[in-house]
Amino acid sequence: MIFSLAGRNLWQQPRRLAWWFWKSSPVVAALLLVSAAAAPSQTTLTGIANYKIDVRLDPGAHSTDAEEILSWHNTSGTAVDRLLFHLYPNAFKSNNTTFMREGGREISPAARGWIDIIKFVDLRTNQNLTENIRYIQPDDGNLHDSTIIMVQLKRPVRARDSVSVSIDFQERLPQAVSRSGWAPGREFYFVSQWFPKIGVLENGAWNCHQFHAFTEFFSDFGTYDVNITVPANYIVGACGELTGEPQKSNGTVTYEYVAHDVHDFAWTASPDFLSETRTFSYEGLPETKVVLLLQPEHSGLADRYFAAVDTAIKYFGFWYGPYPYPVITVVDPPRTAHVGGMEYPTLITAGTEDYTLKDFLSPEVVTIHEFGHQYWYAMVANNEFEEAWLDEGLNSYSTGKVLEKAYGPNTSVFRIADVYPVYLYPLASFQGLPIAPIIGKVWIHEPYNRLPLYLDYDKTDPISKYGCMAFDRGSYRTIAYNKPELVLRTLEGVLGPDMMGDVLRTYFEEYKFRHPTAADFERVCERVSGKDLGWFFDQFIDGTGTVDFGVKSIDYYRETDLSSGASTYVTTVVVTRNGEIKMPVDLRLSLDDGSAVDTVWDGQSSWRSFSFRTSVPPDYAVLDRSGKIPIDMDYADNSLRVHSLLSPVFKWVGKILNYFQNVLMTVGMLA
């Protein structure tokens, strides 16, 4: 059944009604929310944290000031006497914050950003609790970090009860850093992680991490109603839908955006945007309004962006479930903004370069990936601090599948120009721009673009390690993106593509608008497939073992039946497990006439010998011929021929020789 925020589904009506009431009476709304939460169909976690924010942008000062009213519902069975809030902008306050230290970054005084709470009032009692605010550092005790506050309430929030608080705050926006702030040289603002945001109460305890350098966010679902006031010439984009007419006053304009069933809210403003809106329409899927906010210098890429969004809505919709929100906004940031490639509910930032060749699918890859986060992050909202791989990994896997389906197997290219001219002279790039001509390209098939980083960090951290505690940025990217995509492709090899599709569809259906964990995902995998996959998750998710199967030797001899004269070839193939991970792997013996004999090795022992009796001599033995285990670390040793094939050796040795001859000629120009 299609779930849609456009009111096409009845079960959602109580919450929409609650929202309408809450706008006029938070108390009545809270009661309705409680009753709605008790309904049988309400297995989701929507309507827990609802925000009403009025924010004004002062471009001259790179600052905002705002008033926030938060209505928070205590879904736990125990009373809560303190509230915890994220103050993410304080990560950019000094060089000593946890975010800066972990990332090894430095931020100049002029580029810094921060947030100040001016006033904090409990609206139940109208008590000013500003004096009760304390900074806490639950993750690392870094006293220079002020990204979390704890507010001691004078009256606890009882179990299943709600509280409304009013927070006045001012923010100095940072020079664009970590997907937030203002862009140097341009009138461009991207305002994200910008408001005091309540943590998540899980099993009676607060889950509220400091802002870390590598990981992202975690928060509860609710409704956001945000009035954004900017100079009159600014164009605004934001999460949710624009409602009502913009209100103009004294050279400013105020836009109201409302977003239901989301867990974050970001917005952007700039006078330079080229704004274009189209409607996605495809039989069997609900219509979606697609808003594109484009930089003037990227105007030629509009069609590519729209096509990428349409592709994503279509395949994610058919594979996992229809996109339920009425709108998706795509923001194309300027180069200096450093906010490209980020996801927020119903709003994504893309990213490209001026001279993006047709072959280079960078706008498409980023757009489809960030749209995919509407499923794996925005709706299926796992804790990104702790299990980032659940959204980044699943989304990388899904992105790769969509790219393959829509654009064919050649989804990215290896740019040779990026590799070696840079050692001779910095000709390759400047600030990410391709300066050097592209002198060669090699197509990369998904998911092998994930291999280089994985090979560098294969033993550093297990996927199950909290992303915010990863060894370094490379290790974080490995356990959040690269290894999970390779692991999920391997899981697809174990389950089969159709079953993998069923698993993900079920996982989405059961956990949309909820906070699943890796254990939930594993349970869905096992239940849907009917297989015990403990061995798989134990090794791949919780361990740092590697996969490397190889064919050690292939020998044969001929037996001749003296009576009939018929020959039989007896072939012995020895296979080895060079990595720690034990799993089944296909073994094929290919014969001289093109026929083959297939068997399966369980991969449990460190080696095994297989014997085959055939009427035709063997040609080669190969493990995992169909590439079901892309995480195998040595593709070359997966196969062994009976006789050497020297033509590729000559071909490439000739190329290597020629390469060095050219290097010598180039170096000789000095003489």
Partner 1 sequence: MNIGAPKALWKGAGRVIRNWRLWCLFYFLNLLFAAVLALPFASVFAKDISRSLAGSDLLAGFNYRWYVEFIHANDANGAYFESLVPQIVVLLGVYVLMEVFLAGGFFSVFAEGGRGKVSRFFSECASKFFPILTITIGEIVLLFALYKGDAFWARANLAAAGEALTDAQVLHAELWRYGAVIAAFMIVNLFSDFAKAAVAIDDDTLAHKIWRGLAFAMRHPFASSGTYLGAAIVSAAVIALYYFVESGMHPLTAEGIVLQIAAGQIFILLRIYSKLIFYAGEAALYRENQIEVINVKREMLE
- Which residues are at the interface with partner 1 (CB under 8 A)? 184-186, 295, 297, 334-336, 353-355, 414, 425-427, 430-431, 433, 435, 439, 442-445, 448-449, 451-452, 455-456, 620, 622, 630, 633-641, 643-665, 667-671
**Among residues 132 and 356, whose Cβ is nearest to partner 1?**
356
**Among residues 282 and 448, whose Cβ is nearest to partner 1?**
448
* Smallest distance, partner 1 to C-beta of residue 512, A: 35
Those residues whose C-beta lies under 8 Å from the C-beta of residue 14, and which sit 6 or more positions away, are 32, 35, 36, 39
**Among residues 410 and 506, whose Cβ is nearest to partner 1?**
410
**Among residues 121 and 444, whose Cβ is nearest to partner 1?**
444
Report how far residue 525's alpha carbon sits from residue 513's, in angstroms, rounded to the nearest whole number: 19
* Smallest distance, partner 1 to C-beta of residue 270, A: 13
* Smallest distance, partner 1 to C-beta of residue 420, A: 13
Q: Measured over all CA atoms, what is the biggest interatomic distance in the chain, rounded to whole angstroms?
A: 107
For 325, left (φ over 0), alpha (ψ -120 to 50), or beta? beta
**Among residues 161 and 353, whose Cβ is nearest to partner 1?**
353
CA distances (Å), 525 to each of 373, 495, 581, in order? 20, 9, 20
* Smallest distance, partner 1 to C-beta of residue 179, A: 17
Those residues whose C-beta lies under 8 Å from the C-beta of residue 384, and which sit 6 or more positions away, are 215, 216, 217, 218, 377, 391, 392, 467
**Among residues 497 and 654, whose Cβ is nearest to partner 1?**
654
Report how far residue 333's alpha carbon sits from residue 221's, in angstroms, rounded to the nearest whole number: 27
Amino acid symbol at 129:
L
* Smallest distance, partner 1 to C-beta of residue 571, A: 15
Phi, psi of 661 (to 5 degrees): -60, -40
* Smallest distance, partner 1 to C-beta of residue 636, A: 4
Give first-to-last CA distance, the chain, whole Å. 75
Secondary structure tally for the chain: helices H, strands E:
14, 34
* Smallest distance, partner 1 to C-beta of residue 536, A: 22
- H-type helices in 348-496, by residue range? 362-372, 388-407, 421-424, 451-456, 473-477, 483-495
**Among residues 25 and 299, whose Cβ is nearest to partner 1?**
299
| 514 C-beta neighbours (distance < 10 Å), count | 16
Which residues, listed in sequence order, are joined to residue 170 by a DSSP beta bridge?
65, 116
**Among residues 557 and 650, whose Cβ is nearest to partner 1?**
650
* Smallest distance, partner 1 to C-beta of residue 140, A: 31
* Smallest distance, partner 1 to C-beta of residue 194, A: 22
Apex CA 294: angle with CA 244 and CA 280, to 5°?
A: 65
Helix (H) or strand (E) run with residue 52 in it: strand 49-58
Of the candidates 213, 8, 200, 234, the one whose C-alpha atom is nearest the C-alpha of residue 91 is 213
**Among residues 600 and 636, whose Cβ is nearest to partner 1?**
636
Report how far residue 376's alpha carbon sits from residue 278's, in angstroms, rounded to the nearest whole number: 24
* Smallest distance, partner 1 to C-beta of residue 129, A: 41
Those residues whose C-beta lies under 8 Å from the C-beta of residue 200, and which sit 6 or more positions away, are 206, 207, 208, 218, 219, 220, 383, 515
**Among residues 285 and 453, whose Cβ is nearest to partner 1?**
453
**Among residues 423 and 532, whose Cβ is nearest to partner 1?**
423
* Smallest distance, partner 1 to C-beta of residue 458, A: 10
Report how far residue 273's alpha carbon sits from residue 299's, in angstroms, rounded to the nearest whole number: 10
